[in-house]
C-alpha cells in the first residue's frame, strides 16, 4: 500500500490548529538528555527516481541461489492465487476479528483453517494460530504444565532432536517459571530417540516432546514413545511438519490409544514464501479435554435467532481484555494474514495435492542422497527412515564446502556442527518438490568438483 506523507502545509495547518509552534514542541515533556540528537549517519533524502534506481541496484545484488537448505524453512511451490487473494484489501488490512459480530468473513476463514488443521493432525481442536513454530512449542509446554494437574514436578523431557532454535526459545520463555527441561539424547546410529534408553521408572514427568520428523529429518518411533509417556502419567506434545502429515501417521493417531495430547509446529510450508526470514506462523491443536488450557483464539460456528449460520469467538485470549493477570498466555496472537494464505493454500491443494507435494519432496531428497553418496567420502550418517531431508557426512569441513558451493550459487545445506559439535563435517540437506532432475544433477556435479 502506498505511503503518502503530509506536505509542509498540511503539517503547518495541524500545528496551528492545536496551538503548537513546531513538531518538537509535542515532545517537550521528554528530558533533553534522553532525546536523540541529529541523525548524522542517515543520508540526505532522494527523489523518487533516485530511490527507485537505488532499490533496483540493491535488488540485483540479491541472487536467486539453488537452495537445498531446509532446517525448518522449506521452499515449496505456492500457487499464484494464494497471495493474489491474501493481499486483497478485505484480508490484507482486516484480518484480526476484534469485533466478532462485524467480522463474519474473517471468522469463517479462521474456522475453515481450524477445521483443516484439526483434520490434518487428526486432533479434536485447533486454535487460530500463534506467532511461529518455536513460540508455539513454548506455549505447548506451558499448556501441558497447566493441563497435567496430576503432575507436580513440572518436568518436561525435551529431545535433542527437536529444532535447536525451538529448544532455545522454549528455554528462554519457561526457565523462570519453575519448569525443568530435561534433555533426551539421540541414538548415534539412527538419529532418533531410542525408547529403550528411557528410564523404566522416570518418576513424576509432566510431558514428553516428540518431533515428527525430527530436526535431522529422521522419523521417530512415535507410537512407542507416546505409549511410554502415557504409561508414566505424562502428556505428549507433538512437534510436526504439516506437509509430512499428508503422508505419515498424524499425531492424533499416535500410540495404542489416545494419541498426542497437544500438537504444534511451524505453518510456513503451507503457503508462506521464504522471504528473508519470515514472517512465519505457528499452529496448535489439542485433544478436546485440554481445550480450556489452549492459548489464543478458537472460532466456533452456530446459528442465529433466524437460523442463519454465524461465526463467533468461542474462546479468545484474555490478554486482550481486562483480566491480563489470569491469561493463559500473554504472547499468543492470531497471525491472521499468514493463516489466510495457509487456508487458501490448503483449499487449492486439497488432500491429494498436499500428498503429492510430500511424495515428490521425499522422492527428490532420496534421489539427491543417492547421487551425492556416489561421491567418494560422502555418506549418510543415520540409518533410520527420513522425510524430505537427511544428514550427510563430508570428507572435508562442512563450513568450507558450503562456502565453496555458495560461491557457485548453490545453498548446499545446513552445517550441523554449529549446533551439534559431535556431528563434525556433517550437513543437513533438503530437496522439495520444486527441484528438477537438472537441479539435482547440478548440485551433485558442484559438490563433486568442490570435494575434488
Tell me the pLDDT tens digit for each residue of 368-417: 999 999 999 999 999 999 999 999 999 999 999 999 999 999 999 999 99
**Judgement on whether residues 106 and 248 belong to the same structural domain of the protein:** yes
247, 255, 272, 252: which is closest to 263 by C-alpha?
A: 252
Give the Cα separation of 86 and 92 in Å (integer). 6
Q: What is the mean pLDDT of the chain?
A: 91
**CATH number where 399 lies:** 3.90.1150.10
pLDDT over 50 (residue 1) = no
- Domain extent, residue 165, equals 80-345
Element (H, E) at 60: helix 48-61
The answer to the question of residue 29 being in a domain is no
**Judgement on whether residues 419 and 305 belong to the same structural domain of the protein:** no
**Judgement on whether residues 209 and 95 belong to the same structural domain of the protein:** yes
The answer to the question of residue 104 being in a domain is yes
Please check whether residue 208 is in contact with residue 236, taking contact to mean a CB–CB distance below 8 angstroms.
Answer: yes
pLDDT over 80 (residue 2) = no
For residue 223, what is its C-alpha cell? 507410537
Bridge partners of 158, per DSSP, are 183
**Judgement on whether residues 339 and 390 belong to the same structural domain of the protein:** no
The answer to the question of residue 13 being in a domain is no
Q: Which residue has the higher pLDDT, 270 or 96?
A: 270
**Judgement on whether residues 375 and 260 belong to the same structural domain of the protein:** no
Q: What is the mean predicted confidence (pLDDT) over 432-449? A: 97
**Judgement on whether residues 167 and 269 belong to the same structural domain of the protein:** yes
The answer to the question of residue 281 being in a domain is yes
Q: Which of 345, 369, 391 is the last residue of a domain?
A: 345
Q: What is the pLDDT of residue 89?
A: 83
CA distances to 66, 382, 416, 417 from 448, in Å: 16, 22, 20, 21
The answer to the question of residue 52 being in a domain is no
- Tens of pLDDT, residues 60-92: 887 789 999 999 999 999 999 999 999 988 888
Bridge partners of 284, per DSSP, are 264
Q: What is the pLDDT of residue 314?
A: 85
- Tens of pLDDT, residues 251-284: 999 999 889 999 999 999 999 998 877 789 999 9
Please check whether residue 290 is in contact with residue 365, taking contact to mean a CB–CB distance below 8 angstroms.
Answer: no
The answer to the question of residue 38 being in a domain is no
**Judgement on whether residues 274 and 141 belong to the same structural domain of the protein:** yes
Please check whether residue 284 is in contact with residue 294, taking contact to mean a CB–CB distance below 8 angstroms.
Answer: yes
pTM above 0.85, yes or no: yes
**Judgement on whether residues 320 and 442 belong to the same structural domain of the protein:** no
Residues 6+ apart with CB under 8 A from 435: 68, 364, 368
**CATH number where 334 lies:** 3.40.640.10
**Judgement on whether residues 212 and 241 belong to the same structural domain of the protein:** yes
**Judgement on whether residues 320 and 417 belong to the same structural domain of the protein:** no
Please give the DSSP secondary-structure letter assigned to residue 337: H
Q: Which of 345, 371, 393 is the last residue of a domain?
A: 345
Q: What is the pLDDT of residue 278?
A: 77
pLDDT over 80 (residue 215) = yes
Give the Cα separation of 156 and 180 in Å (integer). 6
The answer to the question of residue 5 being in a domain is no
- Tens of pLDDT, residues 15-38: 999 999 998 899 889 998 888 777
- Tens of pLDDT, residues 271-326: 999 887 778 999 999 999 999 999 888 999 999 889 999 998 887 765 555 566 67
Q: Report the number of distinct structural domains present in the chain.
A: 2
Q: Which of 345, 375, 405 is the last residue of a domain?
A: 345
Give the Cα separation of 367 and 234 in Å (integer). 39
**Judgement on whether residues 295 and 427 belong to the same structural domain of the protein:** no
Q: What is the pLDDT of residue 320?
A: 52
Q: What is the mean predicted confidence (pLDDT) over 415-437? A: 96
Q: Helix, strand, coil shares of the chain as percentages rounded to 5? A: 40, 15, 45
The answer to the question of residue 200 being in a domain is yes
Give the Cα separation of 170 and 133 in Å (integer). 11
**Judgement on whether residues 317 and 362 belong to the same structural domain of the protein:** no
What pairing do the DSSP bridges indicate for beta strands 125-126 and 379-380?
Answer: unpaired
Amino acid at each position: 500500500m502506498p505511503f503518502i506523507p503530509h506536505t509542509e502545509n498540511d503539517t503547518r495547518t495541524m500545528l496551528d490548529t492545536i496551538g503548537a509552534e513546531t513538531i518538537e514542541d509535542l515532545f517537550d515533556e521528554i528530558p533533553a538528555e534522553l532525546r536523540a540528537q541529529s541523525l548524522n549517519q542517515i543520508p540526505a533524502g532522494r527523489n523518487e527516481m533516485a530511490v527507485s534506481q537505488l532499490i533496483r541496484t540493491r535488488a540485483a545484488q540479491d541472487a536467486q541461489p539453488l537452495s537445498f537448505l531446509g532446517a525448518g524453512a522449506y521452499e515449496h511451490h505456492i500457487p499464484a492465487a494464494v497471495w493474489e487473494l491474501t493481499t486483497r484489501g478485505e484480508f490484507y488490512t482486516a484480518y484480526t476479528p476484534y469485533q466478532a459480530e462485524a467480522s463474519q468473513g474473517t471468522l469463517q476463514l479462521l474456522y475453515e483453517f481450524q477445521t483443516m488443521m484439526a483434520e490434518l493432525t487428526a486432533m479434536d481442536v485447533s486454535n487460530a494460530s500463534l506467532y511461529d513454530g518455536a513460540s508455539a512449542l513454548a506455549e505447548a509446554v506451558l499448556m501441558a504444565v497447566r493441563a497435567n494437574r496430576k503432575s507436580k514436578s513440572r518436568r518436561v523431557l525435551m529431545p535433542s532432536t527437536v529444532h535447536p532454535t525451538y529448544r532455545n526459545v522454549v528455554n528462554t520463555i519457561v526457565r523462570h517459571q519453575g519448569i525443568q527441561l530435561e534433555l533426551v539424547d539421540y541414538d548415534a546410529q539412527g538419529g532418533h530417540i531410542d525408547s529403550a534408553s528411557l528410564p523404566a521408572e522416570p518418576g513424576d514427568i509432566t510431558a514428553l516432546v516428540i518431533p515428527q520428523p525430527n530436526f535431522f529429518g529422521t522419523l521417530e518411533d512415535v507410537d512407542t514413545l507416546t505409549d511410554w509417556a502415557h504409561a508414566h502419567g505424562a502428556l505428549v506434545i507433538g512437534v510436526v511438519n504439516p506437509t509430512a502429515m499428508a503422508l505419515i501417521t498424524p499425531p492424533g493417531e499416535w500410540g495404542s490409544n489416545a494419541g498426542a495430547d497437544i500438537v504444534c509446529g511451524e505453518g510456513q510450508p503451507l503457503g508462506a514464501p521464504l522471504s528473508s526470514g519470515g514472517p512465519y506462523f505457528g499452529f496448535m491443536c489439542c485433544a478436546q479435554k485440554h481445550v480450556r488450557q489452549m492459548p489464543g483464539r478458537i472460532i466456533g460456528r452456530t446459528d442465529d435467532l433466524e437460523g442463519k449460520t454465524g461465526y463467533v469467538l468461542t474462546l479468545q485470549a484474555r490478554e486482550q481484555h481486562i483480566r491480563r493477570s489470569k491469561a493463559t498466555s500473554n504472547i499468543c496472537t492470531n497471525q491472521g494474514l499468514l493463516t489466510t494464505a495457509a487456508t487458501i493454500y490448503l483449499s487449492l491443494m486439497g488432500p491429494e495435492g498436499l500428498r503429492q507435494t510430500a511424495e515428490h519432496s521425499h522422492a527428490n531428497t532420496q534421489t539427491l542422497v543417492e547421487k551425492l553418496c556416489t561421491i567418494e567420502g560422502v555418506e549418510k550418517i543415520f540409518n533410520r527412515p527420513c522425510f524430505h531431508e537427511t544428514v550427510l557426512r563430508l570428507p572435508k569441513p562442512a563450513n568450507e564446502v558450503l562456502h565453496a558451493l555458495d560461491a557457485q550459487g548453490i545453498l548446499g545445506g545446513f552445517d550441523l556442527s554449529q549446533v551439534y559439535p559431535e556431528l563434525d563435517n556433517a550437513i543437513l540437506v533438503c530437496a522439495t518438490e520444486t527441484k528438477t532432475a537438472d537441479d539435482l544433477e547440478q548440485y551433485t556435479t558442484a559438490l563433486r568438483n568442490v570435494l575434488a
